[in-house]
Structures are given as C-alpha cells and as structure tokens.
Amino acid sequence: MKKKLLAAFLLSTALVSAGCGDDHPEEEGVDAEACEHLQEGPASAVTATLGTDAAPAILADHRRYDVTLADGPDGKQGAVSFAVSEAADYVIYTNADVDLSITTASGVAVEIEESSSSSEGCADIKGRHVVPLTVGTHYLTFGPTSAATVGVLIEESHDEHHGHEH
C-alpha cells in the first residue's frame, strides 16, 4: 500500500513539474512558462468592456489574451472576466505596465498580494501580480493607460514558498 502511495505521489510530482513542456528547468518555474507564452502564444484576441457587464472571458489555459482596451474618461481601460473553478493563488502576467484591479462578481475588491513590473528572467513580463482567488467569477480591470492593447496570461501559482501566514 505504501509503495502504491509513493508511486502515485512521485507520478503526480513529475506531472506538476512538467508543466506545459520540458523545455525549461523547473527552477525557472511559472515565470519561464509565462515568458514563453507571452512571446510565442498561442494567442486569442478579446475586446474589453467599460465596466463588467458583458465582459469577455479569459482563461488560465496557457494562452496569451491580447486585450484591446476601450476609450475611457482617463485613457484606455477595460474589464475582462475570469472564472475560477479551484481556489488558489494565481499569477496574472501582462506584457505592458498597466494598472490592474480585481473584483468578485458581487463587486468586492480582491487584494493583490504581490505586484511587480518585471521578472528577472524575462524582459517581456511588464506586470506580474500574485492574487488569491476564490471559486467564482472575477473581473480584471486594466488601466487607465495609454496602451491600446495589453497581452494577459494567467497561470495558477505553484510557489511552495508562498504562504498565507500574514
């Protein structure tokens, strides 16, 4: 019985560390994978909405979403929706340094735990935001900014050192 549990654990660990491919070392982690997808895609184009009504959906599916922002009162801005099926920390990457705010479907603001405008290993990462999300729909609002589009990629965080002991 113990051998079967150990084998299952080792197999699941191998699958998690494999990620989206074996072409980058494990220690580069989620940032390396995000860099690859920000640079090479695959990509889908979506048009953000002013406000959350009818905001287009984006997914954590190893895909860059090229979000076209709308003309707002203070510059380009817009919202997209993200449905979370598993409560976890997520990393939201952008290829432009734009303001990001996140709310739940009921309008409650979600605190971003960590934010930076760069990543050591990838010059294409201009925004890196770690945020704990609960199950349900969330709205990501970008801007205001002068950028007409922003590339967005969402990955579930696998950072074992990141805890919630505040």
Domains of the chain (ranges; CATH) run 30-156 (2.60.120.380)
Six token digits for residue 137: 């729909």
Mean pLDDT to the nearest integer, 42-49: 97
Taking alpha carbons only, the member of 88, 94, 97 closest to residue 133 is: 88
Supply the DSSP string of 84-102, one letter for each residue.
ESS-EEEEEEESS---EEE
Mean pLDDT to the nearest integer, 27-34: 72
**First-to-last CA distance in the chain?**
38
pLDDT at 28: 53
The reply to whether omega before 25 is within 30° of 0 (cis) is no
CA angle 65, 66, 70 (to 5 degrees): 120
Task: Please write the tens of the pLDDT for every residue from 136-161.
Answer: 999 999 999 999 999 999 999 875 44
Q: What is the pTM of this model?
A: 0.78
